[in-house]
């Protein structure tokens, strides 16, 4: 038991006469105040800052994604590190979309049978325009702009 606890335990035993007559009156009052402070509830924790809002960071314009020749006709390629998916619905016609699923934000992971597929809950998006063709997602993938430079697909 430390000194503070001893002082608090002794306080109820102090007679009124002792408290009033002694020169230590101020000390007793101070001790009582200290005890009452010790018994007060702990302060509430400081509120935490909310998580940052807004869409996840996307690759910047001008970044090379890969070889245009590697994008299959009638299919596409996911660039997960750039959060972009590039499709080629018809020869020489490239489309690009955000690879972030509009359902709950997973990254789509493959392009199969004309759709861009999300592994989390099964949403599928059309390679032609990013529109949802199978839920639970109800909103299309965001469009991205790409261009062909030489044999490279580059974010515009």
- Residue 116 CA to residue 140 CA, distance in Å, equals 11
The residue among 62 and 122 lying less far from ligand FES, judged by its C-beta, is 122
Select from 45-53, 67-75, 87-95, 113-121 the region that touches ligand FES (CB under 6 A).
Answer: 113-121
The residue among 120 and 154 lying less far from ligand FES, judged by its C-beta, is 120
- Residue 111 CA to residue 120 CA, distance in Å, equals 14
The residue among 68 and 82 lying less far from ligand FES, judged by its C-beta, is 82
Select from 11-19, 89-97, 116-124, 138-146 the region that touches ligand FES (CB under 6 A).
Answer: 116-124
Strand ranges across the sheet with 146-149: 64-67, 152-155, 146-149
- Min. distance of Cβ 1 from ligand FES in angstroms? 58
CB 87 within 8 A of CB 111: yes
Q: Is 134 in the site for ligand FES (CB under 6 A)?
A: no
Give the x-and-dash track for 84-103 against ligand FES (CB under 6 A): -----------------x-x
Select from 26-34, 47-55, 115-123, 138-146 the region that touches ligand FES (CB under 6 A).
Answer: 115-123
Q: Is 104 in the site for ligand FES (CB under 6 A)?
A: yes
Which residues contact ligand FES (rule: CB under 6 A)? 101, 103-106, 118, 120-123, 136-137
């Amino acid at each position: 038991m430390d000194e503070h606890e001893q002082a608090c335990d002794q306080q109820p035993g102090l007679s009124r006469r002792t408290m009033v007559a002694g020169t230590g009156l101020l000390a007793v009052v101070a001790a009582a105040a200290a005890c009452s402070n010790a018994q007060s509830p702990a302060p509430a924790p400081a509120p935490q800052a909310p998580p940052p809002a807004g869409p996840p960071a996307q690759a910047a314009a001008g970044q090379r994604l890969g070889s245009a020749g590697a994008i299959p006709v009638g299919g596409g390629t996911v660039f997960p590190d750039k959060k972009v998916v590039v499709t080629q619905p018809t020869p020489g016609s490239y489309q690009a979309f955000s690879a972030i699923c509009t359902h709950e934000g997973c990254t789509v992971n493959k392009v199969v049978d004309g759709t861009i597929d999300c592994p989390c809950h099964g949403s599928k998006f059309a390679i032609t325009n990013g529109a949802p063709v199978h839920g639970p997602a109800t909103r299309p993938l965001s469009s991205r702009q790409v261009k062909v430079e030489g044999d490279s697909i580059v974010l515009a």
